Amino acid sequence: MDIIRRYSYGFDKKTKVDIENAVMKSIVSGLGDKHSTYFTQKETSEFEEALRGDFEWIGAVINENIRGIKIMKIIVWSPAEKSGLKVGDIMTRVGDINIVGKSTEEAVKVIRGPKWTKAEITYKRWEENIDLHTSVIRDKVNVPSVGEKMLDNGIGYIEVSTFGEHTSDEFIRSWNTLTQSGVRGIILDFRNNGGWYLDTAVDLASIVLPESVPVVIIKQNNTSKNETLMTKVGIKNNINIPIIILINDFSASASEIFAGAMQDHKRWLLIGEKSYGKWSVQEPFDLWDGSIIKITTARWYTPNDISIDEKGITPDIGVMLTNKDYDSLFDRQLRAAEVIIIDQIKNKKSVDELKEIYKNNNFISLTGSTITK
């Protein structure tokens, strides 16, 4: 440090906080664990904001596209919806900043901003090549972690986007709404769900599995502290209707715990793509200045004592989305789940029978109206 202070060009422009943050990040990085992280004060605030599910932004879920940044989903009552933006629109500029070719993360930094500030969006609508313009006033947008809807043929659909602070209550409300309406089966969508709270995964598993069965095994450095988390007693559930679970390569952590428990107990079918493979436990520790160090303290294993860390969970029936599906916003995986669950309802087929029937079906021939989630 003496050498750096004396000879490093521009060191006088660095603050004590800059240096401390860099040192802390280096120490945690030295652990060689990609899931262990040091959050500065600002990053801690953003992390906690994400767990609560409220942001100051325009309320659009986006993804990279060769023509710009494509809107994949719009939050109800959000500034994006009020401005007239629609799913499928491709944003090309925010103010004077060209976002064509930027990553999703880079685009988010440009689009997000303080409440009541204005984002001037230039975009193209679907296949048209005409520049359209709209002004969006950023606001605090609460993002529900759970959403439900009725599909055709009496099939219910519940999407769980994360395992945050309010997910358990939101899931129970959605579950009760659908089951009380007399649904014949339910599709649970955990695609693109990066996880978070372990307790939430246990709560959700307790609704669809019998009482007091294992959900996940936690193994620590000190083996005497290893424990198995069981489904909770006294949670009203309805496990007499068929359930299908959707996962993909962005399903991670707590969502994989839920999916792994379902697969080990052979209760319901998993459909989609292999999951991400994050089965390590991170615990946050608050530091005196408002920053956080989040480090790996244990490993998760499925009820059958299987670790899928770095390997992921292989679905019972694999269904891949094609490039054309992405372009047209056609959800082939959801349509496949509908086909299979209707077969299960009508013909009373078991999970093993369905796996055998559909194991080599890639569902490429499926067609249908555009589905937007």
Q: Assign 187 to helix, strand or coil.
A: strand
**What would the mean pLDDT of 139-168 be, rounded to a whole number?**
88
Q: What percent of the chain has pLDDT over 70?
A: 94
pLDDT at 158 over 50: yes
- Contact call for residues 123 and 92 (beta carbons, < 8 A): yes
Q: What pLDDT, on a 0 to 100 scale, did the predictor assign at position 368?
A: 60
Give the span between the Cα atoms of 18 and 24, in whole angstroms.
10
- Contact call for residues 291 and 24 (beta carbons, < 8 A): yes
- Contact call for residues 303 and 265 (beta carbons, < 8 A): yes
Q: Class of 54-142 per CATH? A: mainly beta
CATH 2.30.42.10 region(s) of the chain? 54-142
Q: Tokens in use for 33?
A: 């664990």
- Contact call for residues 15 and 21 (beta carbons, < 8 A): no
- Contact call for residues 69 and 90 (beta carbons, < 8 A): yes
Determine which one of 145, 253, 275, 291 is catalytic: 253
Number of residues assigned to the chain: 373
Q: What pLDDT, on a 0 to 100 scale, did the predictor assign at position 187?
A: 96
A 10 A CB-CB count for 123 gives 21
Give the span between the Cα atoms of 226 and 301, in whole angstroms.
11
CATH 3.90.226.10 region(s) of the chain? 146-282+297-358
- The yes-or-no answer on residue 124 being catalytic is no
Give the span between the Cα atoms of 274 and 258, in whole angstroms.
14
Q: CB under 8 Å to 246, separation ≥6 — which residues?
A: 187, 188, 189, 190, 191, 270, 271, 272, 333, 334, 337
Determine which one of 89, 189, 203, 264 is catalytic: 264
Q: What pLDDT, on a 0 to 100 scale, did the predictor assign at position 111?
A: 92
pLDDT tens for residues 34-59? Answer: 888 899 988 887 777 666 655 677 98
- The yes-or-no answer on residue 278 being catalytic is yes
Mean per-residue pLDDT over the chain, rounded? 87
- Contact call for residues 142 and 170 (beta carbons, < 8 A): no
Q: What pLDDT, on a 0 to 100 scale, did the predictor assign at position 1?
A: 81
Determine which one of 206, 278, 280, 316 is catalytic: 278
Q: What pLDDT, on a 0 to 100 scale, did the predictor assign at position 256?
A: 93
- Contact call for residues 190 and 162 (beta carbons, < 8 A): no
Q: What pLDDT, on a 0 to 100 scale, did the predictor assign at position 373?
A: 37
88 to 38, 62, 112, 323: CA distances (angstroms): 36, 10, 19, 14
SS (H, E, C) 166-177: CHHHHHHHHHHH
pLDDT tens for residues 327-371? Answer: 777 889 999 999 999 999 999 888 888 888 887 777 877 766 444
Q: Tokens in use for 292?
A: 């956080």
Q: What pLDDT, on a 0 to 100 scale, did the predictor assign at position 371?
A: 42
A 10 A CB-CB count for 54 gives 12
Q: State the number of CA atoms in the 13 A half-sphere of 20 facing the CB.
A: 10
**What would the mean pLDDT of 117-125 be, rounded to a whole number?**
94
Q: What pLDDT, on a 0 to 100 scale, did the predictor assign at position 316?
A: 93
Residue 102 burial by Cβ neighbours in a 10 Å radius (0-12, 13-18, 19+): middle
pLDDT tens for residues 261-283? Answer: 999 998 789 999 999 888 888 88
Q: CB under 8 Å to 92, separation ≥6 — which residues?
A: 67, 68, 69, 98, 99, 100, 122, 123, 124, 131
- Contact call for residues 276 and 248 (beta carbons, < 8 A): no
Q: Tokens in use for 199?
A: 């307790």
45-53 contact pairs (CB < 8 A, 24+): 47/292, 50/164, 51/164, 51/165, 51/196, 51/197, 52/164, 52/165, 52/166, 53/142, 53/143, 53/144, 53/145, 53/162, 53/164, 53/165, 53/166
Bridge partner residues of 149 (DSSP): 157
Q: Say whether domain 146-282+297-358 belongs to CATH 3.90.226.10.
A: yes
